[in-house]
Structure 1
Amino acid sequence: MSTLSPENSLSARRSATFILGLHPFVRAEAWKFLTGYYSWQSSHDERLMVDSNRRKNYDALCQMYETLQPLLENLHGDFTETRNNIVYDIQRLYDKDPLGNVLVDKKRLEKNLLLSYVCNTKAEYQRGFHEMVMLFQLMVEQDHETFWLFQFFLQKTEHSCVINIGVGKNLDMLNSLIALLDPEFAEHLKGKGSGAVQSLFPWFCLCFQRAFKSFDDVWRLWEVLLTGKPCRNFQVLVAYSMLQMVREQALLESMSGDAILLACNNLIDLDADELISAACMVYAELMQKEVPQPLKDFFL
């Protein structure tokens, strides 16, 4: 009987995650492998060592931040403005479940957002990160786990949700994808719908968080993004699939860009598995086309 090589075994595990999803009981631990927090080939003892080192590094970053905070407050106006934005965003965050139980510790959330802003100069802070980091805090127990999982998530998804890095590229590729797969809709968007696609940047900034009916659905999609299956930058295929949900109405009613945007914003309570399946069908359709090089490089 043949056995899988380590590389094939790794690919099989990632494919299983993509196809089947993760059971909630194993999600927190499995995410450490998906993000790169742990190596897939690591032993139990090695993982204990890695976790210990990540905790120590996190504590060192916290100490550094406490030392630098007075200097940042006095010399960098951007720091004070960003801190105020973080505090404001967190205050507005609804942090209770339907029974009134507190879901998330806002002070811990604020701490990790500030630390991420100071340490990750590439991503900095943008509106919506507070909602994303909240989901990481809900998933794992320790602050150092929350911090590192978020950092690794950004890296693994090529900072696709960061405005000054990936969001603009996502929107450009979405326009190109529509032009290739749905010329009729593309023509409509060029006319009455002009600007509608560019206005969909919140989808990417929040990784579609507000489109789903549950946190489990959000995690399900994010897990697919982390696997890199069935292709890189799967988020653009997801956005295309969501746009297709309003396409018929947009063409039938000759909707303006503002009306299309409103219809897109009303796409809520979606089912992750159904959306992932729809996006996979888009990918299969794409593979049957003569794909322009920019799109090929982006997805493949």
Structure 2
Amino acid sequence: MWGAPAEPADSYYEVRPECTDVPVTKFKIKPGKTLSVRKWQTSFAPDGQLDIGKTLNRIHRGGIHPTIRGEVWEFLLGCFDPKSTYEEREQLRQQRREQYQKWKNDCREIFPVVGSGQFITAPVITEDGQPIQDPLVLLEANNAGGDGPNSTEIVQELINRGPLDKKIIDWLLLLHQIGLDVKRTDRSLVFYEKQENLSKLWDILAVYAWIDTDVGYCQGMSDLCSPMIILLDDEADSFWCFERLMRRLRGNFRCTESSVGVEAQLSHLAAVTQVIDPKLHQHLETLGGGDYLFAVRMLMVLFRREFSFCDSLYLWEMMWALEYDPDLFYLYEEPTPSLEETKKKAKSMRHYGKFERENMKIKTDEAPLPISVFLVASVLKEKSTKLLQEARGLDDVVKILNDITGSLDAKKACNEAIKLHKKYLKKVLLVSFL
């Protein structure tokens, strides 16, 4: 029905009535453009193999219907190989659920609040590994009930364990920070009025911090994980979607004594801006913003703060569809023999995302830049005139960029990013030939 009206998407992510300053989504569910339930179901062969090329095109045209968003994301993020069968995916899903439960049980043995339906927002140990004696610091965990231990029991359990090793100390020190961030994440959504959903988010981040000792937990990761909890019913499935997303982004969160992980992307952003808008780059350098630190938030949490919740999901799925690589699953997974047999050595270019196809044309040993860099560059380009005329200091730059919140169009931003990407590659190639 080509004449059918576009359906608003806000109703799928209900906002609390008292939150009146939340940006209204620009994303509309458009019949004939948005990937619908029916189109999604007909993209599978009888044995379960997915026509990923057709799916990518549909997503780029109009995003994904909210009711199937979670299961489509599992493919976009590389959780499953499109060439796998229903049976193979179900087997892999069960293996992953068991693995997650094992990790969660390991965490619960160390700290019994994990998996209890509770979470903490105050520290439980000192930096030298000594349990904090005052049980009042743990009352936050018990406000909503749950089947977990009380404050006194938690402290006593830690005391009974005796000296803690460094991995456990480092992990325990993170748990209250995760709790503080969980309480602040997407609180405008009705979904997070339920304590069980807050606890689920805390559990996933706590388990992730346990297994990824290099990154642990950093502020911003709760913003990346939250949509997974909302879109997928099973906690383990949400965890694995988040884990796959972190494989792409964890470099941004890795910090050393001398550098922050996101600095690499900031330097790429500076290089791209210098090529496509040298006048703006020079102006930013003159203002002392040549390190592009004002763009950290956009890169770290993929525009979660600049878009409404619904629009940020729309933006993400378009980004992932544009960057899609059919070998993504194999880059992430040690495949079982049956899955290995399904891998096609010769793949049609239509199985790659549009952005990835452009990158494949360039013969270079360097890893291609992510589309997120070009998205930020497109925002800077759009605001170039305003930045050049009105920014007299870094505070002005930050204010101008903060003013874009709620005004950006996700599809337009992606299209502009693709244009800038082509322009950048063309100019860089031209320079390399000279």
| TM-score in terms of structure 2 length | 0.60
What's 2:238 paired with? 146
Q: Any stretches of 5+ residues in structure 1 without a counterpart?
A: 1-6, 295-300
What's 1:235 paired with? 372
Count of residue pairs the alignment pairs up: 286
Compared CA separation, residues 96 and 266, structure 1 to 2 (3 A): closer
Compared CA separation, residues 158 and 206, structure 1 to 2 (3 A): closer
| Contact 2:270–2:290, Cα closer than 8 Å, also in 1 | no
> Within 5 Å, which residues of 2 pair with 1:199-238?
199-213=294-308, 215-227=309-321, 228=323, 229=353, 230-231=355-356, 232=368, 233-238=370-375
Q: Which runs of 4+ in 1 moved over 6 A?
A: none
Compared CA separation, residues 262 and 96, structure 1 to 2 (3 A): closer
| Aligned partner of residue 288 in structure 1, secondary structure | helix
The 1-side partners of 2:202 and 2:191 are apart by: 24
Match of 2:219 among 124, 127, 130: 127
CA RMSD of aligned residues (A): 2.9
| Contact 1:246–1:260, Cα closer than 8 Å, also in 2 | no
Say whether residues 1:30 and 2:72 are aligned partners. Answer: yes
Match of 1:255 among 392, 412, 424: 392
| Contact 1:72–1:79, Cα closer than 8 Å, also in 2 | no
The 1-side partners of 2:414 and 2:382 are apart by: 14
Match of 1:58 among 97, 100, 108: 100
| Aligned partner of residue 428 in structure 2, secondary structure | coil
| Contact 1:73–1:79, Cα closer than 8 Å, also in 2 | no
> Within 5 Å, which residues of 2 pair with 1:1-300?
9-69=51-111, 74-76=164-166, 77-97=169-189, 102=194, 105-155=197-247, 157=248, 159=250, 161-164=252-255, 166-195=261-290, 197-213=292-308, 215-227=309-321, 228=323, 229=353, 230-231=355-356, 232=368, 233-269=370-406, 270-291=408-429
What's 2:121 paired with? none
Deviation at 1:32, TM superposition (A): 1.2
| Aligned partner of residue 74 in structure 1, secondary structure | coil
| Aligned partner of residue 242 in structure 1, secondary structure | helix
| Aligned partner of residue 427 in structure 2, secondary structure | coil
Compared CA separation, residues 28 and 61, structure 1 to 2 (3 A): same
Compared CA separation, residues 26 and 183, structure 1 to 2 (3 A): same
Deviation at 1:119, TM superposition (A): 0.8
Amino acid paired to 1:275: A
| Contact 1:196–1:258, Cα closer than 8 Å, also in 2 | no
Larger Rg: 2
The 1-side partners of 2:52 and 2:231 are apart by: 23
What percentage of residue pairs aligned between the two structures are identical?
20
Q: Which has the higher helix share?
A: 1
The 2-side partners of 1:75 and 1:277 are apart by: 50
| Stretch of structure 1 that moved more, 239-248 or 70-79 | 70-79
The 1-side partners of 2:184 and 2:381 are apart by: 32
